[in-house]
Amino acid sequence: MIQRFISVMAGLACIVAATGRVDAHPHVWVTMTEELLYAADGSVTGVRHAWAFDDMFSAFATQGLEQKTKGTFTREELAPLAKVNVESLKEYAYFTYAKVDGKRRKDAFLDPIDYYLDYDAKETVLTLHFTLPFKTPVKAKAIEIEVYDPEFFIDFGFAEKDPVRLVSAPAPCTVAVEKPHDDNFPITLRLDQAFQTSEANIGMGANFANRIAVNCP
């Protein structure tokens, strides 16, 4: 009896603890295309994000917005929303973290510039574009940019094709893209083709950071 009681209590505690530990699961998926912007002297001046949201969230985000043509939104119609977006993102440090020569650099970025939203009416997908300028341009051998949501409400993943581009970088610079490790979750269950293209998005666990590593020897 005592053992049974304890085992039931322990089981209960484990279930609550195990599921409680999972803080969140994403309701927003972002497919990223990133650019690192270089100045003429070879320093990195900023990061240019293009974040495409999943179709469900895109529908949610555009709900109730005024539109001249049904089914699509112009950049101007989306301008107020873009402003709200970048302003709210400040609280989350734009989910963008920089590492220079192996060292974390806190508070590395200025407020976003050149931001706008566009809407792909065919794919019904909303994309947020914005540039995060470095407070001081970074000249370093190794620069790493990570994009992730520590609370995992937003699942960031790189685009399949050309996820990262270096814009006017010095010739010897190379870029590597590291996707989240999903060793823990062998994807055995595929519901439809759509998932095959979003494998990066399903990567979860400790390493859900998407890493861009630039090396300029």
Q: Which is nearer to another protein, 11 or 170 (CB)?
A: 11
CB atoms within 10 A of CB 137: 15
CB of 127 to another protein, least distance (A): 11
CB atoms within 10 A of CB 28: 17
CA distance 44 to 40: 9
From candidates 84, 113, 121, 167, binder to another protein by CB under 8 A = 84
By CB under 8 A, residue 97 contacts another protein: yes
- Tokens 């484990």, residue located: 14
From candidates 8, 110, 113, 121, binder to another protein by CB under 8 A = 8
* DSSP per residue, 182-193: -TT-------SH
Instruction: Return the SS3 of 136.
Output: strand
By CB under 8 A, residue 194 contacts another protein: yes
Bridge pairing between strands 142-147 and 210-215: antiparallel
CB of 41 to another protein, least distance (A): 28
Binding-residue pattern over the window 42 to 61 for another protein, x denoting contact by CB under 8 A: -----------xxxxx-xxx
From candidates 11, 39, 74, 121, binder to another protein by CB under 8 A = 11
By CB under 8 A, residue 125 contacts another protein: no
CA distance 187 to 184: 9
By CB under 8 A, residue 209 contacts another protein: yes
CB of 190 to another protein, least distance (A): 8
